Amino acid sequence: MVDKSGSNHRVRYNFSITKLLFWSLIFLGLIVFFFFRSPPSPSPSRRVLRGGVDWENSVRQSGLSRSKGKRVLVTGAAGFVGTHVSIALKRRGDGVVGIDNFNSYYDPSLKRARNDLLRREGIFVVEGDINNAPLLRKLFELVKFTHVMHLAAQAGVRYAMKNPASYVHSNIAGLVNVLEVCKSANPQPSIVWASSSSVYGLNSKVPFSEKDRTDQPASLYAATKKAGEEIAHTYNHIYGLSITGLRFFTVYGPWGRPDMAYFFFTKDILKGKKITIFEGPNHKSVARDFTYIDDIVKGCLGALDTAGKSTGSGGKKKGAAQLRVFNLGNTSPVQVSKLVSILEKLLKVKAKKQVLAMPRNGDVLFTHANISYAQSEFGYKPTTDLQTGLKKFVKWYMEYYSSSKGKKSAW
């Protein structure tokens, strides 16, 4: 009996060892398999995007200003206006830290190329969303920002019909998040942010003045920008944040946005593709107060330099703070058909045009800025006409899209 049970035990014991060995080998095999399959350790540029010591040092370094310079957080830094403004600030000695989510609303490779440009200027752009409050708070811990240039937004008038949620996400929720973090920061920064000429909506009195009504937006995009202006009022009123809104008028130029008409007209004319020119009722032509990027940059810096200090601390208001809104336009509207004929001459290609009645897509018939307020407050004076500005744009476009980087993304 004993013997029997002893051999039984031995059999069971041997069986367990075999089983253990078997599973150990499988386990080891799996470890080896996953070890060799796992992606290589991140490159320095990827590593810094994910936090850690390198990342923190990059943020601090980028935020350093020359003596008496400002320390500016630029949201949407890899965007069109964001890139130009960041470079101008850095070159004059301000500390600049960027944040951008590099979304794919338009070709992200263009945003990456702008980011390369920024990196060469010593500007670090954090990859992240303005809705990420812990990330924003972390940036304020690392750098005591004196100013926030809030340019991150969901842009584009007509796209709002396709993707309304993205406008609410960036232009409303994102703005509120930025203001929440700013109001709690110590010291509170002064804020300059991008509103839009589209807030004038269906107004017919021209030129548009900041004193005019802005309660009839024609697109959800315009409505979110108008909402932003009201939200700015609230944060100024409750928390003593100094806030300046800038109503940009159809900004164009090198490194511009591919979703804008001047940009995709250029691309389509060169490709021999048909372009559509909208017209208003009774064949009225549509016009825009196209404003060149360098003029806009001067306006942004002027607004930043004249921004008063926020008065609150620890999330509490201590006194009244500045609340402003400025038109930044060119004061000379140009018909879209004229824009096309300038492009035809510069590109030396005749456009294949079709004229269509403006669909109900959020567009307005015309824009025209009265800029006297910006002129009196910080000497804003646009100096580039459409012909000159488009010439610079076309030169950049040809160079960029004939280089290997541009070729890959545009054609």
Ligand X SMILES: O=C(O)[C@H]1O[C@H](OP(=O)(O)OP(=O)(O)OC[C@H]2O[C@@H](n3ccc(=O)[nH]c3=O)[C@H](O)[C@@H]2O)[C@H](O)[C@@H](O)[C@@H]1O
Considering only the stretches 52-60, 105-113, 150-158, 312-320, report the one whose residues sit in contact with ligand X under the rule CB under 6 A: 150-158
CB-based burial label for 22 (10 Å; 0-12, 13-18, 19+): exposed
**What does the per-residue mask of binding to ligand X show for 288-317, with x meaning CB under 6 A?**
x-----------------------------
Q: Tell me 236's DSSP state.
A: H
Cα dihedral 105, 247, 113, 126, rounded to 10, equals -80
**What single-letter amino acid sits at 253?**
G
Residue 157 lies near ligand X (rule: CB under 6 A): yes
Which residues face 71 on adjacent strands? Answer: 95
Q: Which of residues 326-355 bind ligand X (CB under 6 A)?
A: 336
Q: How far is the CB of 290 from ligand X (least distance, A)?
A: 8
Catalytic, 167? Answer no
Nearer to ligand X, 65 or 219 (CB): 219
CA 331 to chain centre: 25
Nearer to ligand X, 145 or 208 (CB): 208
Nearer to ligand X, 170 or 188 (CB): 170
Q: What six digits make up the tokens of 56?
A: 């923190």
Selected binder of ligand X within 155, 175, 243, 269 (CB under 6 A): 155
Q: Tell me 160's DSSP state.
A: G
**What single-letter amino acid sits at 304?**
L
Catalytic residue (choose from 221, 252, 292, 397):
221
Q: Give Rg (Cα) of the chain.
A: 27
**What does the per-residue mask of binding to ligand X show for 179-218, with x meaning CB under 6 A?**
-----------------xxx--------------------
**What single-letter amino acid sits at 309?**
K
In which element (H, E) is residue 148 found? strand 147-150
Count of residues in contact with ligand X, rule CB under 6 A = 18
Q: Which of residues 242-271 bind ligand X (CB under 6 A)?
A: 248-250, 260-261
Which residues face 366 on adjacent strands? Answer: 287
Nearer to ligand X, 115 or 196 (CB): 196
Strands 334-335 and 287-288: antiparallel
Considering only the stretches 36-44, 166-174, 273-281, 383-391, report the one whose residues sit in contact with ligand X under the rule CB under 6 A: 273-281
Nearest in space to 118 (alpha carbons), one of 87, 91, 149:
87
The site for ligand X (CB under 6 A) is made up of: 155-157, 196-198, 248-250, 260-261, 276-278, 286, 288, 336, 363
Catalytic residues: 221
